[in-house]
């Protein structure tokens, strides 16, 4: 395992140094069979046509990309999903699937195993079925996830369980972590709740209060492997390392720096991702941005505890180079809990 991690670290370092595209995230559609309370899609009607997805995969291959991430919406509501996955695997991509896994079955999981996908990432909000189903607003969703998690484990598919931490479930972190450890799933948590992509802030009504956040921030940081940096190192760091080696395509075809940053650098219905990656001056501006380029960061007491997301700042705070109030809230919680070390 350590050799694999070391090898991947070398691969990522190569992509960073060479400024090559490492990963492309394709949001295949916005439709979903769940209706999660915090979902950031303002509407769920868009779908990328199959031929466009294939063009994007071919272009990503030309750029030397290593990984493709398929997400949605719920990707398994598409009739052609296995054609898409198989095409990507035949091109040699490492394939990551982000899905709620509720629509999987013995047969489909067997197909995924035969295709040697890299991992499946799914959401589980609680071991308590009532809490989970309340968040998804779908009866039976918890039962379906638990059943298919067992099948994924039996198939040997690498499985990541993600928990978005809300007012409704923040007391469930330990129980869910224990479940994942005992069953061999990777466990990740996220305390950030985002506005909808159209700016609607209703999802924030579900986010933790300061006191609630303080009660779980250390536990969440330990789970996610968070490390804080000296102020000088942070100011010289690129704001988003992932954005330097990745692109994202949304269901409307917009080519974005990230699926959390809805700034259209182009659109795959008219533009090639090859041209965007090689020629977009705005993309270069985003990817070369450092913490010191945000005026408030240079004088902010939160800097060494802050993991600033330019996408959050873009959606929530009217500019990618502005202070991200969401990142600042989390950083202030770390200061209260850890002290200003």
Q: Over the stretch 89-140, which tens digit does the pLDDT of each residue have?
A: 999 999 999 999 999 999 999 999 999 999 999 999 999 999 999 999 999 9
* Residues 306, 291: Cα–Cα separation, whole Å: 10
Report whether pLDDT(340) > 60: no
Residue 259 is predicted with a pLDDT of 86
Residue 125 is predicted with a pLDDT of 98
> Lowest mean pLDDT: which of 12-21, 157-166, 193-202, 287-296?
12-21
Query: What is the bridge-based pairing of β-strands 119-123 and 94-98?
Result: parallel
State pLDDT tens for residues 318-336.
888 888 888 899 999 999 9
Query: Distance of CA 16 to CAs 238, 240, 287, Å?
Result: 11, 12, 11
Computed on alpha carbons and rounded to an integer, the radius of gyration of the chain in Å comes to 20
Residue 231 is predicted with a pLDDT of 65
Query: Distance of CA 157 to CAs 74, 84, 88, 112, 220, Å?
Result: 19, 19, 17, 8, 25
Residue 205 burial (10 A CB sphere; 0-12, 13-18, 19+): exposed
* Residues 126, 63: Cα–Cα separation, whole Å: 40
DSSP 299: G
Report whether pLDDT(5) > 50: no
> Lowest mean pLDDT: which of 61-65, 254-258, 307-311?
307-311
Residue 65 is predicted with a pLDDT of 96
User: What global pTM score does this model have?
Assistant: 0.92
State pLDDT tens for residues 237-258.
888 878 889 999 999 999 999 8
Average pLDDT value for residue range 275-297: 88
Q: How confident is the model at residue 2 (pLDDT cuts 50, 70, 90)?
A: very low
Residue 302 is predicted with a pLDDT of 87
Q: How confident is the model at residue 229 (pLDDT cuts 50, 70, 90)?
A: low
């Amino acid at each position: 395992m350590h050799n694999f991690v070391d090898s991947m670290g070398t691969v990522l370092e190569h992509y960073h140094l060479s400024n090559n595209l490492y990963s492309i995230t394709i949001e295949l559609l916005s439709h979903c069979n769940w209706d999660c309370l915090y979902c950031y899609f303002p509407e769920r009607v868009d779908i990328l046509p199959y031929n466009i997805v294939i063009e994007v995969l071919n272009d990503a291959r030309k750029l030397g990309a290593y990984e493709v991430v398929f997400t949605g919406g719920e990707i398994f509501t598409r009739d052609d999903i296995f054609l898409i996955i198989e095409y990507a695997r035949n091109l040699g991509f490492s394939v990551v699937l982000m899905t709620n896994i509720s629509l999987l079955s013995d047969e489909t999981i067997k197909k995924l195993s035969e295709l040697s996908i890299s991992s499946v990432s799914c959401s589980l909000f609680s071991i308590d079925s009532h809490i989970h189903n309340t968040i998804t607003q779908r009866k039976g969703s918890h039962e379906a996830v638990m059943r298919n998690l067992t099948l994924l484990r039996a198939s040997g598919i690498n499985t990541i369980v993600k928990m978005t931490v809300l007012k409704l479930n923040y007391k469930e972190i330990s129980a869910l972590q224990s479940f994942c450890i005992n069953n061999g799933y990777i466990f990740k948590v996220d305390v950030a709740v985002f506005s909808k992509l159209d700016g609607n802030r209703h999802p924030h009504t579900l986010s933790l209060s300061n006191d609630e956040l303080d009660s779980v921030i250390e536990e969440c940081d330990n789970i996610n492997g968070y490390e804080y940096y000296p102020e000088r190192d942070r100011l010289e760091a690129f704001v988003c390392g992932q954005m330097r080696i990745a692109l994202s395509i949304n269901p409307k075809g917009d080519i974005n720096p990230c699926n959390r940053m809805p700034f259209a650098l182009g659109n795959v219905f008219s533009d090639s991702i090859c041209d965007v990656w090689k020629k977009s001056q705005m993309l270069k501006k985003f990817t070369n941005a450092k913490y010191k380029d945000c005026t408030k960061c240079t004088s902010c007491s939160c800097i060494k505890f802050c993991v600033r997301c330019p996408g959050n700042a873009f959606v929530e705070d009217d500019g990618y180079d502005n202070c991200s109030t969401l990142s600042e809230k989390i950083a202030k919680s770390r200061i209260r809990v850890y002290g200003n070390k």
